[in-house]
Structure 1
Amino acid sequence: MSIESIAGQERVKRILQNSLRTDKVSHAYIFTGQHGTGRRQMALAFAQALYCKVLPDDACGECLDCRKVEHGNHPDLHWVKPDGASIKIEQIRELQKQFAYRAGVSGLKMYVLENADTMTVQAANSLLKFLEEPTSRVVAILITDNGQALLPTIRSRAQWVPFAPLSRVLMIETLQAEGHPSFLIQPAVRLAAGTEAARELIQGNGFAEIRNLVIQLARESLTRLPTSMLTAQQKLAKSELTDQLPLFMDMLILWLKDMVRLSLGDHNELVFTDQTEWMGGQALSYDMKHWVRCMEQAIELQKRLRFHANPQLVLEKMLMHLKGV
Structure 2
Amino acid sequence: MSFQSIPGQDRVKRILQNSLRTDKVSHAYIFTGPAGTGRRQVALAFAQALYCQVLPDDACGECLDCRKVEHGNHPDLHWVKPDGASIKIEQIRELQKQFSYRAGSSGLKMYVLEDADKMTVQAANSLLKFLEEPTSRVVAVLITDNGQALLPTIRSRAQWVPFAPLSRQTMVAALQAEGHPSVLIQPAVRLAAGTAAARELIQGNGFAEIRNLVIQLTKESLTRLPAAMLTAQQKLAKSELSDQLPMFMDMLILWLKDMVRLNLGDRNDLVYADQSDWMAGQSLSYDMKHWVHCLDQAIELKKRLRFHANPQLVLEKMLMQLKGV
TM-score range for the pair, normalised by the shorter chain length: over 0.9
Counterpart secondary structure, 1:242: coil
Quote the Cα distance in structure 1 between the aligned partners of 2:236 and 2:62.
Answer: 51
Residue in structure 2 matched with residue 38 of structure 1 by the alignment: 38
Quote the Cα distance in structure 1 between the aligned partners of 2:96 and 2:230.
Answer: 58
Quote the Cα distance in structure 2 between the aligned partners of 1:86 and 1:262.
Answer: 46
Residue in structure 1 matched with residue 68 of structure 2 by the alignment: 68
Residue in structure 2 matched with residue 322 of structure 1 by the alignment: 322
Q: Aligned partner of 1:45: which letter?
A: A
Counterpart secondary structure, 2:154: helix
1:238 Cα deviation from its structure 2 partner: 1.8
Residue in structure 2 matched with residue 192 of structure 1 by the alignment: 192
1:243 Cα deviation from its structure 2 partner: 1.1
Quote the Cα distance in structure 1 between the aligned partners of 2:97 and 2:109.
Answer: 12
Render the CA deviation track for 1:196-250: whole Å, top value 9, x for unaligned: 1111111111111111111111111111111111111111112231111111111
Render the CA deviation track for 1:27-83: whole Å, top value 9, x for unaligned: 000000000000000000000000000000000011111111111111111111111
Output the TM-score relative to the length of structure 2.
0.99
Residue in structure 2 matched with residue 130 of structure 1 by the alignment: 130
Paired residues in the alignment total: 325
Quote the Cα distance in structure 2 between the aligned partners of 1:211 and 1:87.
Answer: 36
Matches within 5 A, 1:120-159: 120-159=120-159
Render the CA deviation track for 1:261-313: whole Å, top value 9, x for unaligned: 00111001100011111111111111111010000000000110111101110
Counterpart secondary structure, 1:241: coil
Residue in structure 1 matched with residue 297 of structure 2 by the alignment: 297
Matches within 5 A, 1:28-177: 28-177=28-177
Quote the Cα distance in structure 1 between the aligned partners of 2:228 and 2:94.
Answer: 55
Quote the Cα distance in structure 2 between the aligned partners of 1:312 and 1:90.
Answer: 45
Quote the Cα distance in structure 2 between the aligned partners of 1:53 and 1:240.
Answer: 52
Q: Aligned partner of 1:121: which letter?
A: V
Residue in structure 1 matched with residue 267 of structure 2 by the alignment: 267
Counterpart secondary structure, 1:90: helix
Q: Aligned partner of 2:116: which letter?
A: A
Counterpart secondary structure, 1:142: strand
Quote the Cα distance in structure 2 between the aligned partners of 1:323 and 1:43.
Answer: 49
The reply to whether residue 216 of structure 1 matches residue 216 of structure 2 is: yes
Residue in structure 1 matched with residue 2 of structure 2 by the alignment: 2
Residue in structure 1 matched with residue 306 of structure 2 by the alignment: 306
Quote the Cα distance in structure 2 between the aligned partners of 1:136 and 1:237.
Answer: 59
Matches within 5 A, 1:231-242: 231-242=231-242
Q: Aligned partner of 1:130: which letter?
A: F
Q: Aligned partner of 1:31: which letter?
A: F
Counterpart secondary structure, 2:160: strand
Quote the Cα distance in structure 2 between the aligned partners of 1:73 and 1:240.
Answer: 42
Structure 2: 5+ residue runs without aligned partners? none
Quote the Cα distance in structure 1 between the aligned partners of 2:121 and 2:45.
Answer: 30
Output the TM-score relative to the length of structure 1.
0.99
Measured on the aligned residues, the alpha-carbon RMSD in Å equals: 0.7
Quote the Cα distance in structure 1 between the aligned partners of 2:266 and 2:33.
Answer: 33
Quote the Cα distance in structure 2 between the aligned partners of 1:108 and 1:66.
Answer: 14
Structure 1: 5+ residue runs without aligned partners? none
Quote the Cα distance in structure 1 between the aligned partners of 2:218 and 2:304.
Answer: 20
Quote the Cα distance in structure 1 between the aligned partners of 2:80 and 2:232.
Answer: 42
Quote the Cα distance in structure 1 between the aligned partners of 2:285 and 2:37.
Answer: 40
Counterpart secondary structure, 1:16: helix
Quote the Cα distance in structure 1 between the aligned partners of 2:3 and 2:240.
Answer: 39
% of aligned pairs identical? 88
Counterpart secondary structure, 2:213: helix
Q: Aligned partner of 2:111: which letter?
A: Y
Q: Aligned partner of 1:77: which letter?
A: L
Counterpart secondary structure, 1:30: strand
Render the CA deviation track for 1:126-166: whole Å, top value 9, x for unaligned: 10001001111110000000000000000000000000011
Q: Aligned partner of 1:151: which letter?
A: L
Counterpart secondary structure, 2:174: helix
